[in-house]
A and B are shown apart, each in its own frame.
Chain A
Amino acid sequence: MAFLSIQDLSISFGGLTALTHISIDVRQGLILSIIGPNGAGKTTVFNCITGIYRPNQGSITFQGKELVGKKPYQVASMGIARTFQNIELFSHMTTMDNLLLGRHIHMKTNVFTGATFLTRRSPAAREEREHRERVERIIEFLEIESARDIPVLALPYGTRKLVELGRALAMEPTLLLLDEPSAGMNQEEKRDMMFWIRDIRDDFKVTIIMVEHDMNLVMDISDEIVALNFGVKLAQGAPNAVQKNPEVLEAYLGQQ
């Protein structure tokens, strides 16, 4: 049984068919990249997995459980974290608070314990301290210490991308969806990002699905690649095989 299994997924918006009979199996522990030209339907796949869109047809099972019909917050609490193509951070909050929100599903404080945490030993305060320590380790891992107490609104684009990645990591997901993690970054930042993604897979034991336009990065770190075009899956396989696939060359690589 696949870790994540997408079967016969179709979705359309009005007259526009964004995905047509897509099936993708994702094995645990791999880095799988989804490539394809603009508008191919890559982000739509993520939105279907995370419950933002409800597909017209098909099923998505994660560790044997059906995801279609689940609300985004339910999908998140099952261990699926994501980043967004256009960065969705809590812009008035600091980096620390953004990452702490990643800990939300692992914390228990409710309105009553939250309103009464005065002393060091109260349950809410103890929990808060414990999770701040975990978040601090992620901040160190991504080397964003200097952004720790700054509202993300005031951070440069590249740092925001890292904060969003950190927030997803703070959720301790088993499946991580990255939508164009290196978009808008310079060469050096891209290389760092590549190492981090690999480290994340190895150190955090996370399965990663990544949408990415930078082919060097994709070829370098992917274990498998899925190519989409106009909502149709063209190929799935090892990077070299997909890269040589004539349909893919025609549709995607040929354009460049």
Chain B
Amino acid sequence: MDMKRDYFEDIQLFRTNTVLVATVVFLAVLAIVPFFAGAYTLYVLNLIAIHSIVAIGLNILVGYTGQISLGHAGFFAIGAYSCVLLMVKAGVPFIFALPAAGFISAVFGFVLGLPSLRLEGPYLAIATLGFGMAVTQVISHSDFTGGHMGIKAPPMSVGPFVADTGAAQYAVIVTITVILAIAAVNLVKSRVGRAFVAIRDSEVAAEAMGINLPYYKTLAFAVSAFYTGIAGALMAFALEHVSAGSFNLILSITFLAMVIVGGLASVMGSILGAALLTYLQLKLLVIQEAPGIGPFLLEVSKRFLTPEGIPNIQSIVIGAIMIAIVIFEPLGMHGIYLRTKRYWRTWPF
């Protein structure tokens, strides 16, 4: 038997034709959506795409490298403000301002990564939490960043193409999301991604392999911050406005929830988690309209919770769903995917 094999098969993006076909179909669907979808649907898809970028970036840090961050709203804010300020105040074109925003955020990520060399677990969580809150404080009190009022974001433009409609925004945002997702899939399979996972699994063994621990830990923070910064910038354009108030602790925790619900150490899980939580959050805004249970929940909320009711019952429902997923499928939605795949492989037996 000829044992010689081509190892590129093990590492290429599409390991089987099924994966290739599925990806092509998925991309084709993404491409034709704007021709059918209404403005609101496109807006929702834009949010999902942006949150997917954050979740992928955060997963590189949390899922792959095993570090924690409760401050990613800070990077999101830094990306958003950097990009918009570069365009508005310095006249930098969007195609340069966007990557610049990512790199500025990455620099902050690198700096925030430094304490991770000394701090672990809960201590690192607190340090990153402090970072996130500090960013919001600074931004909301500076005139340069428009203070509490924030700043209006100009439309994204690439050369003569100005993304001033929902469909055009969708085209730019989804294209960038696809590129960043593919980059992440490659990265985690490469030497760098393996070093990240090695650090997560055993720092002692990682160092014994010659992995420069300080370098790779801070690099993971920087890469994660880069993704989140880009996403923050895109969010500014999707909302056509940035203001400090939205970049709070709840947002950081929501990002973390997307990663955990989607599945740690999985790029696809990140996207699924971002999609599910984004969709749920929007749906739960109108939970009182849900058939059957809507009026009941509204009633419960009014009777037992604060007078406004609705926001509380939203948080409770979303919390319950998250707890259920984590209890019944610790691997998150990625785990559900793996099980389904195994099921279909043996189907129909």
Contacts and interface: CB of A to CB of B under 8 A. Distances in A.
A131 to B, nearest CB: 9
A76 B201 contact: no
A40 B210 CA distance: 28
Nearest to A108: B191
A114 B192 contact: yes
A73 B210 contact: yes
B13 A118 contact: yes
Given A101-B195, A111-B192, A115-B184, A89 B202 contact: yes
B58 to A, nearest CB: 17
Which label, helix, strand, loop or mixed, suits the secondary structure of the B interface?
helix
Interface stretch (A122-130, A228-236, A238-246): A122-130
Interface string B281-318: 00000000000000000000000000000000000000
Given A100-B194, A104-B191, A171-B210, A118 B205 contact: no
Given A76-B207, A92-B201, A104-B211, 11 more contacts: A72-B204, A72-B207, A82-B208, A91-B201, A92-B197, A93-B197, A97-B197, A101-B209, A105-B209, A114-B191, A124-B190
B186 interface: yes
Contacts of B205: 84, 88-90
A114 B64 CA distance: 15
Contacts of A33: none
Given A73-B212, A76-B209, A88 B204 contact: yes
A104 B201 contact: no
Contacts of A4: none
Contacts of B327: none
Interface residues of B, number: 34
A21 interface: no
Nearest to B219: A111
Interface of B: 6-8, 10-13, 182-184, 186-187, 190-195, 197-198, 201-202, 204-213, 219, 223
Contacts of A81: 208
A166 interface: no
Interface in A73-116: 73, 76-77, 81-82, 84, 88-93, 96-97, 100-102, 104-105, 107-111, 113-116
Given A88-B202, A93-B201, A117-B190, A102 B209 contact: yes
B197 A90 contact: yes
30 contacts: A52-B204, A72-B204, A72-B207, A72-B208, A76-B208, A88-B205, A91-B202, A92-B197, A92-B201, A93-B194, A93-B201, A97-B197, A101-B206, A101-B209, A104-B191, A104-B195, A104-B209, A105-B210, A108-B191, A113-B190, A115-B187, A117-B11, A124-B191, A128-B8, A128-B190, A129-B6, A129-B11, A132-B7, A136-B7, A171-B210
A145 B320 CA distance: 45
A232 B197 CA distance: 39
Contact of A104 (B6, B182, B210): B210
Given A88-B202, A92-B197, A115-B186, A128 B11 contact: yes
Interface of A: 50, 52, 71-73, 76-77, 81-82, 84, 88-93, 96-97, 100-102, 104-105, 107-111, 113-118, 120, 124-125, 127-129, 132-133, 136, 167, 171
B7 A167 contact: no
Name which of A84, A105, A109 has the most chain B CB atoms within 10 A of its CB.
A109
Name which of A77, A88, A136 has the most chain B CB atoms within 10 A of its CB.
A88
B223 A111 contact: yes
B204 to A, nearest CB: 5
Given A88-B208, A91-B201, A104 B194 contact: yes
A116 B202 contact: no
A114 B207 contact: no
B210 A129 contact: no
B7 A128 contact: yes
Nearest to A71: B207
Nearest to B201: A90
